[in-house]
Structure formats: structure tokens, C-alpha cells
Structure 1
Amino acid sequence: MSLWSLISPMPPEHFSGLFGEFPHSLRRLLADWLENQPWEFITGTDAFCTSTAGTLLSAMVEKLRGLSAGNGQQVQLLQRIDNLENTYRRDPLRLVAIVKGILEGERAVLLKQDHRLPLSFHRRQEELKFGLGLQRLRHKVGEIQERWKQMEEGTRGCRPASLQDSQLKIEGSLPGNDLLALLRGAVKELDDAKLQVLNRLHIWKRQQQLAGNGAVFEENLAPLQKRCESLVEVYFQLQQLLAVAGGELGSDLLSQLLEQLNAVLNTLVKSSFLVEKQPPQVLKTQTKFQASVRFLLGPRLLLASAKPVMVKADMVTEKQARELALGGYGTLLSESTGEIVHSTVALETNAASATSSATFKSMLLKRIKRCERKGSESVTEEKCAVLFSTDVTLGPGNLVFRLQALSLPIVVIVHGNQDNNAKATVLWDNAFSEPGRVPFVVAERVPWEKMCETLNLRFMAEVQTSKGLLQEHYFFLAQKIFNTNSASPEEFHNRSVSWAQFNKEILPGRGFTFWQWFDGVLDLTKRCLKSYWSDRLIVGFISKQYVSKLLGAAPDGTFLLRFSDSEIGGITIAYVLRGQDGSSQVENIQPFSAKDLHIRSLGDRIRDLEKLRNLYPDKPKDQAFGIHYNKEHTGKDGRGYVSTTIKMTVERDETLPTPAPTYSLPRPPPEQRLGQGFRPLMAVPHFRAPKEGSVPSTSPFQSPPPLLPTSVSATAPPLSLGSGLASQFLQQNLQPWMPEDFMLPELEGLSPEPTDEEMLEIPPFLDHVSPFEAPLQPPHLLPGRGSLPHLPPLLSPGNNVDLPTEEEFLRLLHPTQMEEALPPSSFLDDPMVNPSW
């Protein structure tokens, strides 16, 4: 976006005083062209600046004459153009100063209104600066060549005696137009141009990292490759000039200039080896992945050789990445922290596309070696990276370079259930890391405004929509993450949010973190609600209390859609009902999950409910959701069957009858009795967040029915639960239903987090189901966990299940002391215990 497109709608009085010698009508005609010239970077009065200013004047006159053709005031316009050319032909630098003042004034007006300039403006300015610097550098090389030619031909007479004075050579006190001053100036400007290229490479890498969060990224490396090649071309020209003029300069000065020149080449070569396509930042073991690296100077410098250049990929830890960074990415890697299959690929040069790259098409991380984690850091907070390295011989001098490029931070997981938390680590690192940082240091606290930008970027990219979050949404999200309803939106602007608040601390009264909840919303919206959100039919991020305030004064049947505040990945309908006395009551329908909406769409569910009339504030629901209704099939289908359909209804103020159980468990005989009130063992239910209005559980699993007797006989032998993860689960999940006088023994050797091997024992089918819908059983109760049997599904009236055998049940409760006490036959075979048998 150009500045002209932003300032042209503004009133002319905003720019009073800017257009004196240069008419406003000419500025309007030149529009974007004027901004695409390097006016503000012409800062000197030397021959180069004067020549460049004259070239710009000629280009401006030619441009204006072309635009004047067909203009209604062509005669007057041509007269102004002639006056412009005659006025500044003798002093083109004066025109440069005038145009520079106009552009600076326009930017000041725009900054006063919008407080920022478009990103495209800054990028264009950087390109103009580099382009002019490269022109100046080439101009200086031409001057050096001309100067040396004159000295060789002897047209300037004998060289000054001062050129033989070594002390003057070292101090550089020769006349300004002499060869030594020109050479030093050229090397200095080449180094400055190199710094601009490095800065542009850092910007490209930063944009690549932000693209991991959903930012727009221009991947094309051709302009950067052209810059690098241009500077290498100047390098070889200066190197040749130094070799020719070395005898005139002296060995000390020649060595000094060559050292500076070679340092430029060394930096350019090493910096131009980079990761073009990043490996996945959440990387699962035993899963194939791809990546590619590119050597920008390869087509220019790589020698034709029978032996191909091989690039190797190694996994490195955060500590190793820091050591490599301190060594300038030139040291050898001592040890790979993971085993990568298919980790070596040839660096190939494509003459047609003028590229040199190595593409890893089928890498696989076979295993990962975990490091010691800091404090309470979990596996999904541990960052590593892939290091790509090779040795190349370049240029006519056969210089050997070790090239290394580090990928973006990677979180390695072994199970799909770790994906959610791993994505949080990657999101935080991508959003808030600084260019040129020590790997992989990132701030622990960031401004809330930056967090809002990150969440909005992620939301729009994940849902694939152009409709982002609004200020009202940010206010609700701030209330949620900071756990306060008393602060104003302005107060949140000055706050900072920590990593712990983002994805380490459980939200008050919930069983999940802020990110886990927000990611659930992303998943639901992406899968089922994209079109509704893009049509702005979903308010979404709004509290239940504020919904009651909005709908309290609305007509009967007014409704809106909001994301569930207490359930991961749910959306609910809130609507208002009015009684005969005019009193209002706001109802919230049980949230719909992605699974529910795949059975029947949200639009059809809204159509089913006659109580819903108008989408808040006053839009008829058929008008709002009509395009989202699915056509209802009536009559017979093509096979002669009568069509059926599913309808949704809402039962209000009615108590559903409790179905009669289909099984019974009478009191067992005394000799087989473990305690009073025995109930059968039940499996852990599905891992789902609490429903709206329910009391949340502090356990990561929903509260199951009692698993042990409500009271235990005093003569019963003590339970020995053992130690380890199974004991931890029993202690955490059985304690609430044990009698007050029942004590669990001390548990030792508890592991706060499952190991990679334990995670791998979770059934693999969970990897292919949404983490917000999959039934999750803890790894401690799955096959392969020692003596623990595989537990049956949750018992409920009507389920036909096989109860555990007596041996399995007693071994679970008392694994070490029950072997000799087992009765000869299972008490579950007794028809009094299980009548169905």
C-alpha cells in the first residue's frame, strides 16, 4: 500500500505549506512513482549524488510528459514541466531536497492520524536504500578502475611521493581522491551493504517463524539471492584490484584490506545457507517428515566436481544449539540427541532455476534422547532443533567453508495426546522470540496486546477466515486469562501475561488451561463453524453473565451463539423466554461438540427450535441462517425407502425418569464378602470437561462412580496398593469415595509425568481422533502395565459387559498378599451375584 493512496482522500488543508516550488498537481500525477525513488537516501554532494539527482530529474520529466498526453489541460501541464526542467537542470540536488521535504511532511500527517506507517512502506524504503547503496558501490569500483588505468597509462604523471610513505599508507592520510582512499572507501561500503543483506535475511527468517503461527509469508528467496550474488561480484572485483595494486600499497596495508574483504565473503557465504522449508515444529517420533535447505551462493560459487556435496541432518538440544551459536555455527557437533533415518542428502544445483538446495523427503525421527528439564518444565516444554551441516569448497581460491543452519525450535512428542501442549510451546516461541537471540531464549511475560495479536493471527489462519477477533472478544479473553471481572478494557492494555497463565496454570474452577480451552474453540470453529463465524453469526467469546445482561431486555425468542466457557470445544445457544407477567429468563442449551454438529448441523438445530425467533439483536433467524439450512428430504428415496430425519428438541423444566437397572448385585455370602456395600469395579469414563453448570472435578478425569465399599469391615486385611503410576491413580481417584477411617498406605516412587514409553502404551487409535472427543483412559489402566487387567467399559443400565474375575479384582486390590487366599472358584460364578449367568 502506497502513502499516496492513504493521503489522497485527506483534505488539502492538512498539507498546507508543503507545495510551494513543486505544484500539488504534479504530485498528484506522479502518485506512487514519486515514492518509489530513493530521494531521501541521496545525502551527499559528491559526483555520484549529483549524477543520481540528474538522472531522477530526467526520469521525472519523461514520466510527466507521458502522463500529460490526453490530459484536458495538456498545454498548461507541458508548460509546468518545461519550467520544472529549466529550473532544476543546473541544480538537481535542489529538486531532491524539495521532494524529500514533501514526502517527509506527508508521512508526518499520516503518522499524526494513524500512529503508524504500513509495513509495505518500510519494506520499500529498505529496498530503495540497498539499491542506491549498491549503485554507489559499483560507481566507486568504477572510479578505482579508472584511477588505476590512469596511473598505468601515466596520464597523470608520476605518482606522488607520499604514496611510497608507509606510515601515510597505514594511517590513510593520502589525498581524498587517491587510490588508497578509494579502496578503503569501497571496502567500507561493501561491509555496510553486507550488514543490510544480513538484516534482510534476519527479517526473512523472522517472517518464516511467524508463518508458523499463521502470518502471511513471502517465501521467494530470489531477491535475497540476487543481493548476495551482487555483493560477491563486487568482492571479486575489489579482490582483483587489490591484487593488481598490492605492490603500490605495501604488504601491511594490503593484508589489512584483504582481511576486511575476506571477512565480508566469509559472513555472506555462511549466512546464505539457510533452511528454506522448516521441519514440523511439533514432531512425532516414528513419523516421516520433510525439510529442505538452500545455499543462495551455490550457483555462483560451487565448483563443478565429480564428488557431490552432502548435507547431513542431526537433532540437537537447546544446550547444544547455544554452544553452536557461540561458536558462530562453525564447530563440529559432538553428539546427536536423536536418531534420524534418511538424514543425508546431496546438495544439488539446478541451472534452469539458478538454485542450489538439498531436499530431505522422507526423514524419520526414530528415537529422542531426553535431557534434564528445568524445575517444573514438562516434556512438551522441552525444545530442540534440527542442525543441517556440510563442508564446501568455493571460488577460484578453493576456500573451504563449513556451513551450518539451525531449524526453528521443535517439540518432540511420542503420542498425539501431547500435541495440544506442544503447540502451545511452539506458538509462544514463534510469537515472542527476538531476532538474533540465544537459542531458544524467550520472554516469560509478554504484553497482553501482543498476546491478542497472536491469538487473532492464529485464529484467522487456523479457521481460514478473514474475520478476526474484535475488541469485545479480547476483553472476554482477558477476563478469562487474568481471572477478573472488575478491570476495564483499558486496564488490560497495560498488563502482561505469563507463560504459566497461558498454558501451565489450570483455570479457576476448571480442569484445563487457557490455551487448551482456546485451542478447543479453534478446533470446533475450523471443523464445523467456519461459515457461521465468517458471516458474523457467532458472538462466540462472551461470558454467560454478560449474555444474561444482553438478552434480559430483548424480545421473547431472541438468541445468540457463544462458545462454552466451561467445556472444551463446545458452542451453546442462549435465548430469552418471557412469562405471562413479562418477566424474562435466559436459558443456555447444553453445548454442542464437533461430534454433535457432524450429526446435525448448527443451522438445522436452530431451525428445529421454534422458541428461537431472532438472532440478537433483531435479525430473523431464517434470514440469518437460511443459507446454512440443509434441504429436508421427503417422500421415498431412489431405493423406495421412506426418508427419515433427525430433529432436535429442548426439554425444559421436566425431570427425566431414571431408567431401571438391567443388572443387580445382591450381598455376597459372608465367606466371600470383602466389606459392606460392595459395588462392582468400573472403568474410568471418557475424558470430557464438565458440562455447563456442573461442579468441576479437580481430577484430570471425570468423577467415576464409587469403586470401593462405602465402609470396610474391621477384620478385612489391609490393602497394599504398591507404588508407581497405578498407585498414584488409585490414590487420586479412589480416595474421595473411601470411608473416613480407611487409610491408604504411603506411596513411593511416583512419577509426576508419564515417560515416553508409558505414553506409547496408550492405544494408537487416539491419534486419529480429536483430543476433545476421544475417550481417554489413563496409561496406568491399559494393557502392558504389569498386573493391572484391562478394565471393562463404564457400567450403565442396559450395558452387557463382562465383570472382572475374582482373581483379577483381588489382585488389583491386594497384588502381593492375595495369591494364597484366592478361593477355588470365582464368586462371580454364583447366580446370586450375577443372575444373568
Structure 2
Amino acid sequence: MAQWQEVQGLANTYLEQVHQLYAGSELPMAVRQCLAAWIEDQNWRQAAEPLSSHARILFQSLLMLLLDQLGSLGTSHEDFMLKHNLRKAHRELQAEFEENPEKFANLVANLLQEEQRILRLGQAGGQGGSVPAPTTAPESGREQQIRRRLAEFHTALQEAERAFRHLEDLQDAFDFCYKVHYRPGEDRSRDPQYARQLQALQAKLQNLDQQRREVLAQMQQLLGRSETLRGLLQQELGDWRERQQRSCLGAPADTHLRPLETWFTELGQGLFQLRKLLRALGDLQQKVTYERDPLAAETPLLEQRLQEQLTHLLKSAFVVEQQPSTPNPFKRPLVLRTNSKFSARARLLVRLHDRNHRMEAAIHIDRDPPKVKGFRKFNILTSSSKTLLAGDSPQEGLVCDFQYLTLKEQKDSRSGKGSKGASESPLVVTEELHLITFTLAYAYCGLELELKTSTLPFVIISNNNQFSSAWASILWFNMLSSDPEAQQFFSAPPSAPWPRLAEVLSWQFQSVAERGLSQDHLLMLAEKLFGSKASLESAVVTWPKFSKDGAAGFSFWAWLDGILGLLQEHLKQLWKDGLILGFVSRKQERKLLKSKKTGTFLIRFSESVLGGVTCTWVEHPESGSPTFHSVDPYTAAELASLALPDIIRDYQMMMEENVPENPLQFLYPNIARDKAFGPYYSQRQEGNLAEPEKYLNRRLIRVSSRQANKSWQTEEELVVATENLETLQLQPGGQ
């Protein structure tokens, strides 16, 4: 009853759509309500297939369940009204569908499908009861076109089924007359009645031939419709793959497969129904054939065309739903470590399978490895195969879910100790790309295929200190490669356009700390890479410049990733709430603070210390230009023992006559320090002087002193305050 319960929880806007759906339906909502769980558990689409007896069984079961429901109702006023409605529904359903239960099965299947569509819209628009904002552009474009064409396809399929049943009746009538009236061994040429019978028989044959040609034309039309639909689904699937690839890089993207799974399944069901019709046409041709019989010439061609469509649909419908990933704080997939567990999952979007056939799924690593000397080889430990049993719930889909997998490098027997790949390969370990391939032995309605799909390339490391470089490779590949199986990508890696790289870098901060990079941040990063006069629209970054070269002893990416680690571990909330200005050059820093009052400070990331953050404040002496002071950057090791908000609250600088004062008064642009950081201060434990046996409270603070031989500097020079390593023992309530 899960779907009906979810439908009833929708906002009023969508509930009205459900009411309108059943207001014009031959299935009363009262029946849907009373038998919700049973209705959702049945395969109505399969029951609606031609030549199936399952529709009649389901229809009779529904009528019996309605009678049982009537017998279980009490005598209250509400039950009296419900009895009346159900009894009326029982009579009307029996009168309408007794002779055509397949029509009823198709009706229910379409209603459930439409419910799912409304449910998806309602869940996407939220449950607040308001009309969703008009942000569903795909719904008015390709998605709407797919739904419309699917509806047209199923309508045309039903018309073809009716035409086929009419053809069966015509053939039975012709066959009966032929066997009764046609006597080829007798000479009855002078019998006028026999001549009339032959003329009537010839007319029936011509009518039969015409009906066969009409049915074949409908089959041709259906195959044309399905080809168009498959093309639209391929485009939608391509968009999903791009969204998944962006999602792997940290981009916010919808990667749910339920809509695609619904559409692929509906098209697959229609094609399998069409396959049964074509086989039934072949049976008709075996029973009755004649010279220039269109079934003999065209049916094999249609079957071949349909077989190709089903094969293409099923092969494209096998996708990697979850790329290989290990649990890590940065939520970065596609970087695996030897001897560490990881998981991956594939899904078949056509939710049709033979419950009497055991479908075997298997995984292989580097099935077709690149011809590169020294390329490392790995084995997948634990189970590399899995059987999808027939008892799997249709609501859950057909999933190959591999968990707790581990990788172990193959040893080179010639070397004696491990593999020589790392030294012989032209690529470093973190630029070596690997693939996992899923294979599935698929079978349904006599059709057997081997389906195959591959993951995105991933990097295999052996130590955590390789993780950052490996992720840089994953970023670069997925940002620039259009070939998901290009394992030799880093033999000649292309350069990245700055606009594209800027977007990907912003995703890193969005995924780690829930706040991306602003245009000011990106401008500072661009100046760091290209200088202040570069044209950013045409600027490109080479792979070595991004991940390897660095005048400060570390690369541009290592610097950025150090900041990401600092945010993840210690500064996530401050960054998310906009308290850290972050990427500000020293020149821009002075420009921002110059006109602010004494004690105004900002927090920025260090450019010279890997994974460092510092505070810079301005002072205005009685005469002369303003001066600027920056504290020696704090790293993760220091912030692990003392949080940055507490450092800012308790920071002291030895002023004249060695009197300590806190120079950090206002967070840029003009927010009182305690107002900005008050919610993030740690709790102070107040000492109780009435209990002399306990220790007095104390806390760590940071203290800086001016250098005695240095005078105030002008704004052209930046003073770096040196921090003493001493700890002040404070009395309770002291500063």
C-alpha cells in the first residue's frame, strides 16, 4: 500500500490531480482505496498482454475481494455509504469488463503509472501544499515528450492487438468455410451453388489478405514509434550519465534513476508484447498461407528488426548506478585503496526478468587492459559474482549490488617482490586508470543476452598520502574526457579551460563545506595561476601546472586540497556561514581593510603555508598611514587543540608597557567580534571558589608581542606578528 499511502500524503495541488484522474476513470476511487495493497502487488501490465489468461484471473480475484470487503463492513452510517459504493462498483465493473478483462488490466496499469507520475511531481515540488515553482524545464520538454509518446505507443499497441484478434476471427471463418466448401478432387464446375461458394471463399481470402497487410502495417508503425522513443531515452540516459559524472566531482545533481527505469520498463514491456504478436502472426501463417502471403515475406523482417531494438534497449539499459567508492570524509568516489573495502552497484533499467531463470552477474577488473608496459594488475578478492534471484521485489528493481570488495595487486613472478609496474610504467600510480566491468546473463520470454557495462575510470592507491594526487587525476579526467573508457588519458593529458576548471573547483568547496566559491574567490585563484592581466575566458591550465609544479614547494592543487582538508576538519561551519573571507590576496586585503576602523579584521587562507588560515587586522595610528598585522597561520595541528573562534576571542597582543589587549574587535566589514563568533565559542567552566579542594579553571590563549626594534609599518608593508608559545594561566572570569 506504499504508493497509495504516499499519494494521499501529497499537497492539495497534486491531490486534486489524483481526484481528476479517478473522476474520469472506470475504476472508482473507493475500489482503489479498499484494495490498494492487493492492486499494487499485481503485474497488471503483463496481464494486459495479448493471449494471456492472467487478466481474467486477476479480474475475477478483484470481484471476489470486493465481495469479501462488502461482507466485512459493519452497519454504521459510513459503512452503509461505502457498501453502496462498492456494490455499485462491483456491478458496473462486471458489466463493463466481463468479456474483456485485458482492457481492465490495461486500465489499472495506466492508472498506476499516472499515479507514479503525479507522485514524482509532488515529491519534487515538496509537501508544503504550495504550487511548485516553475523550475521543471525538462518536464515541459523531453520528459513530457517521452510520456506523450509512450502513451501513444501503448494506444497504438492496443489497436494492433484488437486488429490481430479481428484477424484471428477472419482466419477462423475462412478456414472453416474452406474446409467445408472447397473440394479440389471433385468436378463441380457446372454447379452454380458451388461457384457462388468459391466466390464467397475468394472474397473471404481477399479480406483476410487485406487484414493481414493492415496488421503488418500497424506493426511497422509500432516499430517506428519505438525507435523514436528509444532515441529519446538514449538522449535522456546520456544526460543522466553526464549528471552522474558531475555528481562524482561534487556537483549538486539529480542522479535518481526511477523515471528512466519506468520509461525503459514500459518500452520494454511494449516491445515484448509486440514480439508475442509477431510470433502469433507466424502461427497464423503456419495454419493458413497462400500465394503472395504478406506474412511469409514480412514477418521475419519485422522479427529481426524487433530483435535488434530489444537488444539495443536492454544493452543500453544496463548502467552503473553507484560508481566504485570507499567511505571517506570527503565523499570522493573513484579513488580506491588496496586491501580496503569498497562497493559498486549496477542496475538494469528494464525491470523485466524470467523468475524461473537465475540471472548471474559478475564483475571483472581491467577486462581489456591498455597495452602499457608496467601497467599494474589487480585481483578482486571476496565474491566477484552474484545471482539475482526471482524473488527480488519489482519495486526495488534489478540491481547488482557488490559490497565489501577488496583489491590486491598481482605479484610479478619474475621480480620476486611485488610488482615492477610502478617503476616500469610511464605513468605514476595516481595517473593509472582502471575499470570494473559488470556482466549480466539476462533471460526473459525466450530472449537470452549477455549485458555489459563499465564504471568510470578509477585510481588505485596503496597509501593515504596518495589520496590527494589521485583525486586530482579523477577531477582532471572527468572534467575533460568524453570517453569513459580512455584508460591512457594521462599519457597526453589535455589542458583545462579556466571557466570549466573554476566551476569544478567551486564544486569541491560546495561538497566539502556546503558553500562554493564566489566570483571574487575565483578571481584571486585565477590571478594566482595566470597573473592579473590574463584573459580568463581564453586562459587554460596544463595538467603539470595544476597538480605538479609549484614555486612554494607544493602544487596549486595541493594548496587548495590542504585548505579543503582544513575546512572539512575544523572550519566547515565558519566557511558555510560566510565568516571566512578565504581567498584574498595581500594587495586586496589591504584595499579592503584600509578604510575600516582600527581593530577590523578578516580571516583568509595562507598562500605560503599548506593548509593554513590567518587573521589580518588594521590599525590607524594618530599620524601616518594605516598598518596591517597578520598572525602566523594556524594549521590543522594547532586547531585540533584550540578552535579558531576561541583563538579569536582570547587572542592577546602585548601593547605598550606590556599590557595585553585583544586587537581583533570587528569582523570585516563591521560586525562586532562576539556577535559574529559568539555562537561558536566553547563553553566556559566557571570555578567555584567555595570548594577549595578543586582546581581553578584555566584555558589556553594565544599571545603575540611587537618586535622591539620594529616601528609601525606603512600600508605598503605587511607586518607578520610572531606568536609566543607561552600559555597564560587565567583565574576564573579573567581575560
Partners in 2 of 1:604 and 1:347 — Cα distance?
55
Partners in 2 of 1:427 and 1:436 — Cα distance?
13
Partners in 2 of 1:185 and 1:242 — Cα distance?
13
1:221 aligns with 2:257: yes
8 Å contact from structure 2 (residues 615, 630) kept in 1: yes
Pick from 580, 584, 595 the counterpart of residue 637 of structure 2: 595
2:303 aligns with 258
Partners in 2 of 1:237 and 1:445 — Cα distance?
50
8 Å contact from structure 1 (residues 572, 589) kept in 2: yes
1:493 aligns with 2:537: yes
Partners in 1 of 2:297 and 2:370 — Cα distance?
39
Pick from 419, 434, 448 the counterpart of residue 467 of structure 2: 419
> Could you give the per-residue CA deviations for residues 273-315 of structure 1, whole angstroms, max 9, x where no partner exists?
2223222211111112222233333x5223414xx44322221
1:624 aligns with 676
Three-state SS of the structure 2 residue aligned to 1:650 is strand
1:134 aligns with 150
1:395 aligns with 2:444: yes
8 Å contact from structure 1 (residues 391, 401) kept in 2: yes
2:387 aligns with 346
Amino acid at match of 1:624: A
Amino acid at match of 2:227: D
Partners in 2 of 1:209 and 1:230 — Cα distance?
26
Partners in 2 of 1:175 and 1:251 — Cα distance?
14
Q: Percent of counterpart pairs with the same letter?
A: 28
1:481 aligns with 529
Three-state SS of the structure 1 residue aligned to 2:141 is helix
> Could you give the per-residue CA deviations for residues 735-771 of structure 1, whole angstroms, max 9, x where no partner exists?
xxxxxxxxxxxxxxxxxxxxxxxxxxxxxxxxxxxxx
Partners in 1 of 2:625 and 2:612 — Cα distance?
29
Cα distance change on mapping 1:556 and 1:286 into 2, 3 Å: same
Pick from 231, 245, 253 the counterpart of residue 209 of structure 1: 245
Partners in 2 of 1:372 and 1:604 — Cα distance?
46
Partners in 1 of 2:694 and 2:228 — Cα distance?
80
Partners in 2 of 1:380 and 1:245 — Cα distance?
58
Three-state SS of the structure 2 residue aligned to 1:293 is strand
Partners in 1 of 2:542 and 2:297 — Cα distance?
56
1:543 aligns with 585
8 Å contact from structure 2 (residues 430, 461) kept in 1: yes
Q: State the Cα distance separating 1:592 from its structure 2 match.
A: 0.5
8 Å contact from structure 1 (residues 151, 159) kept in 2: no
> Could you give the per-residue CA deviations for residues 137-158 of structure 1, whole angstroms, max 9, x where no partner exists?
1222233233344444449994
Partners in 2 of 1:288 and 1:130 — Cα distance?
40
8 Å contact from structure 1 (residues 317, 384) kept in 2: no
Cα distance change on mapping 1:409 and 1:646 into 2, 3 Å: same
Three-state SS of the structure 2 residue aligned to 1:178 is helix
Partners in 2 of 1:286 and 1:693 — Cα distance?
49
Amino acid at match of 2:444: G
Partners in 1 of 2:453 and 2:226 — Cα distance?
24
Partners in 1 of 2:360 and 2:353 — Cα distance?
16
Partners in 2 of 1:570 and 1:226 — Cα distance?
49
Pick from 463, 487, 503 the counterpart of residue 453 of structure 1: 503
2:192 aligns with none
8 Å contact from structure 1 (residues 318, 439) kept in 2: no
Amino acid at match of 2:581: V
1:331 aligns with none
8 Å contact from structure 1 (residues 636, 643) kept in 2: no
1:660 aligns with none
1:771 aligns with none
8 Å contact from structure 1 (residues 608, 648) kept in 2: yes
Q: State the Cα distance separating 1:540 from its structure 2 match.
A: 0.5
Pick from 174, 179, 187 the counterpart of residue 223 of structure 2: 187
Partners in 2 of 1:182 and 1:291 — Cα distance?
43
Partners in 1 of 2:433 and 2:648 — Cα distance?
45
Partners in 2 of 1:416 and 1:127 — Cα distance?
43
Amino acid at match of 2:216: L
Structure 2 unmatched runs, 5+: 1-12, 22-132, 175-199, 286-292, 326-333, 411-418, 652-661, 711-717, 721-735
Q: State the Cα distance separating 1:132 from its structure 2 match.
A: 0.8
8 Å contact from structure 2 (residues 456, 484) kept in 1: no
Partners in 2 of 1:531 and 1:160 — Cα distance?
82
1:432 aligns with 2:480: yes
Pick from 600, 603, 608 the counterpart of residue 558 of structure 1: 600
Pick from 704, 707, 711 the counterpart of residue 653 of structure 1: 707
| Greater helix content | 2
Q: State the Cα distance separating 1:457 from its structure 2 match.
A: 1.4
Pick from 297, 301, 318 the counterpart of residue 273 of structure 1: 318
Three-state SS of the structure 1 residue aligned to 2:366 is strand
Partners in 1 of 2:594 and 2:212 — Cα distance?
82
Amino acid at match of 1:182: Q
1:233 aligns with 2:274: no
Three-state SS of the structure 2 residue aligned to 1:133 is helix
Q: State the Cα distance separating 1:373 from its structure 2 match.
A: 9.8
8 Å contact from structure 1 (residues 316, 336) kept in 2: no
Three-state SS of the structure 2 residue aligned to 1:301 is coil
Amino acid at match of 2:277: L
1:110 aligns with none
Partners in 2 of 1:160 and 1:437 — Cα distance?
57
Amino acid at match of 2:544: A
Q: State the Cα distance separating 1:532 from its structure 2 match.
A: 1.5
Q: State the Cα distance separating 1:512 from its structure 2 match.
A: 1.2
Partners in 2 of 1:529 and 1:250 — Cα distance?
73
Aligned residues between the structures = 515
Partners in 1 of 2:157 and 2:204 — Cα distance?
20
Three-state SS of the structure 2 residue aligned to 1:237 is helix
Three-state SS of the structure 2 residue aligned to 1:523 is helix
Three-state SS of the structure 1 residue aligned to 2:227 is helix
Partners in 2 of 1:412 and 1:544 — Cα distance?
39
> Could you give the per-residue CA deviations for residues 97-122 of structure 1, whole angstroms, max 9, x where no partner exists?
xxxxxxxxxxxxxxxxxxxx987312
Cα distance change on mapping 1:549 and 1:558 into 2, 3 Å: same
8 Å contact from structure 1 (residues 635, 642) kept in 2: yes
Partners in 1 of 2:649 and 2:444 — Cα distance?
72
8 Å contact from structure 1 (residues 137, 189) kept in 2: yes
Q: State the Cα distance separating 1:229 from its structure 2 match.
A: 2.1
Of 399-408 and 344-353, deviating more is 344-353
Partners in 1 of 2:424 and 2:204 — Cα distance?
68
Q: State the Cα distance separating 1:445 from its structure 2 match.
A: 2.6
Partners in 2 of 1:336 and 1:553 — Cα distance?
59
Amino acid at match of 2:335: V
2:366 aligns with 316
8 Å contact from structure 2 (residues 456, 485) kept in 1: no
2:127 aligns with none
Q: State the Cα distance separating 1:518 from its structure 2 match.
A: 0.8
1:337 aligns with 377
Pick from 427, 435, 443 the counterpart of residue 385 of structure 1: 435
8 Å contact from structure 2 (residues 594, 618) kept in 1: yes
Pick from 569, 580, 585 the counterpart of residue 627 of structure 2: 585
1:783 aligns with none
Cα RMSD for the two superposed structures: 3.7
Partners in 1 of 2:270 and 2:601 — Cα distance?
69
> Could you give the per-residue CA deviations for residues 409-449 of structure 1, whole angstroms, max 9, x where no partner exists?
11000111111100111122233333777567597233322
TM-score (norm 1): 0.56
8 Å contact from structure 1 (residues 214, 457) kept in 2: yes
Partners in 1 of 2:558 and 2:471 — Cα distance?
10
Cα distance change on mapping 1:468 and 1:372 into 2, 3 Å: closer
> Could you give the per-residue CA deviations for residues 349-385 of structure 1, whole angstroms, max 9, x where no partner exists?
4136352323322211011578699996322111111
